[in-house]
Chain A
Amino acid sequence: MTAATELRLLKDIDEPGLDTIEVYERRGGYSALRTALTELDPDEVLEQIQAGDVRGRGGAGFAMGKKASFIPKGDMDKYLVCNADESEPGAFKDRVLMQKNPHLLIEGCIIAARAIEANHGFIYIRGEYELQADVVERAVRAAYERGYLGADILDSGFDFELVVHRGAGAYICGEEMALLDSLDGKRGNPRLKPPFPANAGLYQGPTLLNNVETLCNVPIIIELGPEEYVKVGSEQSKGTKVVSVSGNVQRPGNYEVPLGVTCREIIYGLAGGPPEGREVKCFFPGGSSAPVLTGDEGLDLTYDFETMAQAGSMLGSGSVIVVDDSQPLVPLALRLADFYRHESCGKCVPCREGTNWTVKMLERVESGEATPMDFELLAQVQSNILGNCLCVLGDSMAMPIGSMLEKFRAEFEQHAEEARARNEAAVVEQAAPELAAAPLTGPA
């Protein structure tokens, strides 16, 4: 299978003015909405989404249709929330979708809201995406003017209000419970689950929470029909995926691929591979939270949810970060751990303390103060974080750091040893230059 498959999400992405409602409508936009509102009743819309079998594109890969079917029926206040707080290092697919094709997202939101009969929707955009939030806000206003949002949409009797909400720079608010708390007007601290958002989410009402890319797939399912939609993709991972490739590659960028192509095809075929003369040392298949795969073990695997999970990693948000063989891993691990230390909300002890101590220990490895015991301790701290917190932020550090340590232990030890030797030489040089010039030879 080649990567030259039809594009769905990025189909018209280079069309000038796609972010305006006129161009979007000319390209067939909002026709899926018309179908969903005038020809189908809410249950049928939900059935179609379930039949399309789209798995959540935000990281967890949970089937969207199933999630939507958990929302109770009835006329209580229900909410739809779009998670556009894309802050994972290496992820930038939602940015492009929102900036270039905001109406696809809005159409997806309305159809998904129709399926669960929610009358209020929110798009939570991270604070740093100022340009993108402006674009989406403009698009929402245009959709209101055309009558796609507001009261009695297309004379179907369905009301839907959509609000663009901007975050203020907190990675943790991409976690669903933290996002809901943040939207509630609180600090973005994750809550204990259950109750899940489907039962008690925003304002304690049933809430469907999905990623931008997931919601962008909804109009496509309705448009193509679920039978056609599931033709692309692998056995259990249907549809296409926008993959963000970055790091040491020649053509970093977003590429839409059918799920099930090989990693080699993505990294070498689409992104041009690492710079001339370099090899792939390892890569993160699903953003910085995913355990790394070495080039040897990972490149020939197929890129879908199951294969990545079987290989001990994950597809996550679909962000491939490539590390070439010129990169020392210790500074990278330190930078990575430092990100999670900074972003930990501090609610759960294993994450708050674990991320702090991991940074401190990695600093010791970096500076050459680490003892062999530190490596054991470092690995132990990672395993003590895993699965012990309310959310997966701590795990998101523990998994990549743990996997790097496991797969490249020798490099970590060598790095520490070299730094230690350098420090020692510097001390000798300063204290006794004559010794440094003529090193002592030990007894035979």
Chain B
Amino acid sequence: MKRREIIQGLAGAGLLASMVGCATGRGAPTTAKVLVVGGGYGGATAAKYIRLLSGNSIDVVLVEPNRAFVSCPISNLVVGGVRQLADITTSYDGLRNRHGITVVHDTVTAVDAGRKSVRLAGGTEIRYDTLVLSPGVDLQFDAVEGLRQAHANGQILHAWKAGAETQALFQQLQAMPDGGVFAIAIPEAPYRCPPGPYERASMVAAYLKKNKPRSKVLVLDANQDVTSKGPLFKKAWADLYPGMLEYRGQHKLVAVDARNRTLRFDFQDAQKADVLNVIPPMRAGALAVQTGLANANSRWCHVDFLNFESTAAPGIHVLGDSIQVAPAMPKSGHMANNHAKVAAAAIVAGIKGLERNTSPMLTNTCYSFVSADAAIHVASVHEYVPAEKTFKAVAGSGGVSAARSEQEARYAMAWARNIWADTLA
């Protein structure tokens, strides 16, 4: 094999440009065929699958501020002290080295849809042909009086974006005296990961049962009742944490008093606790909102479900938690990963001049741990319904666990390791 033949082969495969991109990719490029903003479950999957489905022939640039991916799914096990932050962290090197994606660690500060360009905090302008935004959620601290300041001071944490704050919340749990109260405030739906708060309550209770058995978990939910897997969670709480975990619906938080460790609600009595874990109301990621894409109640982004293109701005695709969901579609990492695959296939079809898929499919499999070694799930399969221009759950499919089990806990970890690899490796 002569070196010249190798180079020709790689150039023929469209790889040479990518290799050069890898070699010089430390600074941000100024152009991108496809520019993906946000390296979470949605954005990272879109970047990888555009490369896979195009046989590496379409150049992809991914902009993500964080140096590594930290998974929200499984992060409640870090809050409960049974996993480490390192266990839920994955490098972006797979996207760089295995898939030839140019990964830029910076923040997009503005999108100019007319000029088809974005501006990075570092100053660079990147011009794109196609833009994919997967900006996650924006936490609305100002919807709760006193919360922004209490969060900035580190007194009241949300830990609803996995990272250092996840670890910090575990430290608050560790520091709590035996006999203390750990309160979790849940916003009205829709919010990221419907069963997440109940899983967190379970994992905190599991920690307390083992380490501080006179303590209590208080779940204060703005919703009427548990929003996901309700009977399974309630059975687990009654069986595993009797007298320790108390659930109260219809508690809409309006103010926090960090000094007196008190939560105030619209109608119910105020509540004191030793640790206040407040999950704020949410809307589409700030970049989507400021770009004018949040055209559903000024909160979420309507998309064309055949390709996840914004209905407010042609040529901009929006994935993941930022979108106005279809019926029975949760805001989950699994869903974001599946949005990304539909969008990637449509983007590749568009660039290659192939007919676009008119019957895309999505799945969602969502596991929740109820203790260190038992889990439950909800699963669904969604098909595009052309007459209604939306995804709907396939009749007769999907469902929840028959009962919590250790087998499902093993499947939950298998799911996590495989989706991390599917998204990033």
Partners in one complex: no
User: Which A residues are within 8 Å of any B CB, using their own CB?
Assistant: none
